[in-house]
Amino acid sequence: MRTPFVTLALASLFASAISCDAQSSQLRLPQCLRFDQPLGYWSTPNGEPSDSSWYVIQLADSGVVRRVLRPAREREAWIRKNQWSLAHDTLRIRVADPPGVGWDVVLSERRGGHFTGMATYLTDVIVKGRVPVRMKVRATRIKCPALPA
Protein backbone atom coordinates (compact mmCIF):
# COMPACT_ATOMS: atom_id res chain seq x y z
CA MET A 1 0.00 0.00 0.00
CA ARG A 2 1.39 3.38 -0.96
CA THR A 3 1.50 6.22 1.51
CA PRO A 4 -0.06 9.56 0.52
CA PHE A 5 3.45 11.02 0.12
CA VAL A 6 4.48 8.29 -2.33
CA THR A 7 1.24 8.73 -4.27
CA LEU A 8 1.77 12.48 -4.52
CA ALA A 9 5.39 11.99 -5.52
CA LEU A 10 4.35 9.55 -8.27
CA ALA A 11 1.66 11.91 -9.51
CA SER A 12 4.10 14.81 -9.56
CA LEU A 13 6.75 12.73 -11.31
CA PHE A 14 4.27 11.48 -13.89
CA ALA A 15 2.96 14.96 -14.59
CA SER A 16 6.43 16.40 -15.09
CA ALA A 17 7.69 13.41 -17.08
CA ILE A 18 4.89 13.49 -19.63
CA SER A 19 4.88 17.25 -20.01
CA CYS A 20 5.51 18.36 -23.55
CA ASP A 21 6.59 21.86 -22.53
CA ALA A 22 7.25 23.98 -19.46
CA GLN A 23 3.70 25.34 -19.40
CA SER A 24 2.18 21.86 -19.11
CA SER A 25 4.12 21.01 -15.94
CA GLN A 26 0.91 21.67 -14.01
CA LEU A 27 -0.74 18.57 -15.46
CA ARG A 28 -2.69 16.53 -12.98
CA LEU A 29 -3.98 13.02 -12.95
CA PRO A 30 -6.05 11.55 -14.41
CA GLN A 31 -4.40 11.44 -17.83
CA CYS A 32 -5.94 9.61 -20.78
CA LEU A 33 -4.14 7.96 -23.66
CA ARG A 34 -5.57 6.82 -26.98
CA PHE A 35 -3.64 4.01 -28.67
CA ASP A 36 -3.35 3.47 -32.41
CA GLN A 37 -4.37 -0.19 -31.91
CA PRO A 38 -6.87 -1.83 -29.54
CA LEU A 39 -5.48 -3.27 -26.31
CA GLY A 40 -8.15 -5.90 -25.78
CA TYR A 41 -8.51 -9.68 -25.74
CA TRP A 42 -7.03 -10.29 -29.19
CA SER A 43 -3.30 -10.58 -29.87
CA THR A 44 -3.72 -8.76 -33.19
CA PRO A 45 -5.32 -5.40 -33.95
CA ASN A 46 -7.72 -7.11 -36.37
CA GLY A 47 -9.81 -8.64 -33.57
CA GLU A 48 -11.53 -5.54 -32.22
CA PRO A 49 -11.04 -2.72 -34.73
CA SER A 50 -14.60 -1.38 -34.55
CA ASP A 51 -14.86 -1.30 -30.73
CA SER A 52 -13.24 2.01 -29.79
CA SER A 53 -13.49 1.28 -26.05
CA TRP A 54 -10.33 -0.87 -26.26
CA TYR A 55 -8.24 2.04 -27.57
CA VAL A 56 -8.50 4.46 -24.60
CA ILE A 57 -7.17 4.15 -21.05
CA GLN A 58 -7.03 6.49 -18.07
CA LEU A 59 -4.01 6.69 -15.77
CA ALA A 60 -5.13 7.71 -12.28
CA ASP A 61 -3.66 8.12 -8.79
CA SER A 62 -1.98 5.20 -7.02
CA GLY A 63 -1.09 3.44 -10.27
CA VAL A 64 -4.73 2.79 -11.20
CA VAL A 65 -5.55 2.23 -14.88
CA ARG A 66 -9.17 2.44 -16.05
CA ARG A 67 -10.77 1.43 -19.32
CA VAL A 68 -12.81 4.63 -19.40
CA LEU A 69 -15.05 3.70 -22.32
CA ARG A 70 -16.09 0.28 -20.96
CA PRO A 71 -19.28 -0.12 -18.86
CA ALA A 72 -18.92 0.60 -15.12
CA ARG A 73 -19.07 -3.05 -13.99
CA GLU A 74 -16.26 -3.98 -16.41
CA ARG A 75 -14.14 -0.95 -15.45
CA GLU A 76 -14.23 -1.89 -11.79
CA ALA A 77 -13.48 -5.57 -12.43
CA TRP A 78 -10.44 -4.69 -14.55
CA ILE A 79 -8.92 -2.28 -12.01
CA ARG A 80 -7.46 -5.14 -9.95
CA LYS A 81 -5.22 -6.28 -12.83
CA ASN A 82 -4.48 -2.89 -14.40
CA GLN A 83 -1.60 -0.74 -13.18
CA TRP A 84 0.90 1.83 -14.36
CA SER A 85 4.28 3.05 -13.16
CA LEU A 86 6.88 5.56 -14.27
CA ALA A 87 10.64 5.16 -13.96
CA HIS A 88 12.78 7.91 -15.44
CA ASP A 89 11.35 8.39 -18.94
CA THR A 90 9.70 4.98 -19.24
CA LEU A 91 5.98 4.58 -18.70
CA ARG A 92 4.88 0.98 -18.00
CA ILE A 93 1.21 0.05 -18.24
CA ARG A 94 -0.52 -3.27 -17.68
CA VAL A 95 -4.07 -3.65 -18.98
CA ALA A 96 -5.48 -7.11 -18.33
CA ASP A 97 -8.76 -8.75 -17.40
CA PRO A 98 -9.15 -10.53 -14.03
CA PRO A 99 -7.70 -13.86 -15.30
CA GLY A 100 -4.70 -11.95 -16.67
CA VAL A 101 -5.29 -11.75 -20.44
CA GLY A 102 -4.26 -8.40 -21.86
CA TRP A 103 -1.15 -6.33 -22.55
CA ASP A 104 2.06 -5.09 -20.94
CA VAL A 105 2.96 -1.78 -22.58
CA VAL A 106 6.26 0.11 -22.32
CA LEU A 107 6.21 3.68 -23.68
CA SER A 108 8.49 6.68 -24.05
CA GLU A 109 7.15 10.17 -24.71
CA ARG A 110 7.85 11.99 -27.93
CA ARG A 111 6.96 15.63 -28.64
CA GLY A 112 3.46 16.99 -28.35
CA GLY A 113 1.93 14.38 -26.03
CA HIS A 114 2.73 11.46 -28.34
CA PHE A 115 4.19 8.19 -27.06
CA THR A 116 5.83 5.23 -28.80
CA GLY A 117 6.78 1.81 -27.50
CA MET A 118 6.13 -1.91 -27.45
CA ALA A 119 3.19 -3.96 -26.22
CA THR A 120 3.51 -7.61 -25.19
CA TYR A 121 0.38 -9.78 -25.25
CA LEU A 122 -0.43 -11.54 -21.95
CA THR A 123 -2.25 -14.83 -22.22
CA ASP A 124 -3.31 -17.63 -19.91
CA VAL A 125 -2.44 -20.17 -22.63
CA ILE A 126 1.15 -21.41 -22.52
CA VAL A 127 2.48 -23.15 -25.62
CA LYS A 128 5.97 -24.63 -25.44
CA GLY A 129 8.28 -22.97 -27.95
CA ARG A 130 5.92 -20.10 -28.74
CA VAL A 131 7.33 -16.62 -28.19
CA PRO A 132 5.11 -13.87 -26.78
CA VAL A 133 3.29 -11.68 -29.29
CA ARG A 134 4.83 -8.19 -29.38
CA MET A 135 3.87 -5.18 -31.44
CA LYS A 136 4.88 -1.56 -31.80
CA VAL A 137 2.32 0.88 -30.42
CA ARG A 138 1.75 4.60 -30.48
CA ALA A 139 -0.42 6.58 -28.10
CA THR A 140 -1.55 10.18 -27.83
CA ARG A 141 -2.56 12.06 -24.72
CA ILE A 142 -6.23 13.10 -25.02
CA LYS A 143 -8.86 14.82 -22.90
CA CYS A 144 -10.44 12.18 -20.68
CA PRO A 145 -13.93 11.28 -21.85
CA ALA A 146 -16.91 11.15 -19.50
CA LEU A 147 -17.31 7.75 -17.89
CA PRO A 148 -20.28 5.74 -19.20
CA ALA A 149 -22.71 4.22 -16.71
Q: What is the largest CA-CA distance in the chain?
A: 50
Q: Exposed e or buried b for every residue in 52-62, given b needs 16+ CB within 10 A?
A: ebbbbbbbbee
Query: Is the predicted pLDDT of residue 111 greater than 80, yes or no?
Result: yes
Query: Is the predicted pLDDT of residue 127 greater than 70, yes or no?
Result: yes
Query: 122 or 126: whose pLDDT is higher?
Result: 122
Q: Output the pLDDT for position 28.
A: 60
CA dihedral 90→13→66→121, nearest 10 degrees, is 10
Residues 84 and 100 sit within 8 Å (Cβ to Cβ)? no
Query: Is the predicted pLDDT of residue 117 greater than 60, yes or no?
Result: yes
Question: What whole-number percentage of the chain has pLDDT above 90?
Answer: 23
User: What residues pair up with 96 in beta bridges, in sequence order?
Assistant: 102
Q: What is the mean pLDDT of residues 82-110?
A: 88
Q: What confidence tier does 97 reach under pLDDT thresholds 50, 70, 90?
A: confident
Ranges of each domain in the chain? 4-142
Q: Output the pLDDT for position 108.
A: 93
In degrees and rounded to multiples of 5, residue 104 shows phi and psi of -105, 125
Query: Is the predicted pLDDT of residue 75 greater than 70, yes or no?
Result: yes
Side-chain-facing half-sphere of 10: CA atoms under 13 Å: 21
Q: What is the mean pLDDT of residues 101-108?
A: 92
Q: What is the mean pLDDT of residues 95-104?
A: 84
Q: Output the pLDDT for position 18.
A: 40
| Residue type present at position 141 | R
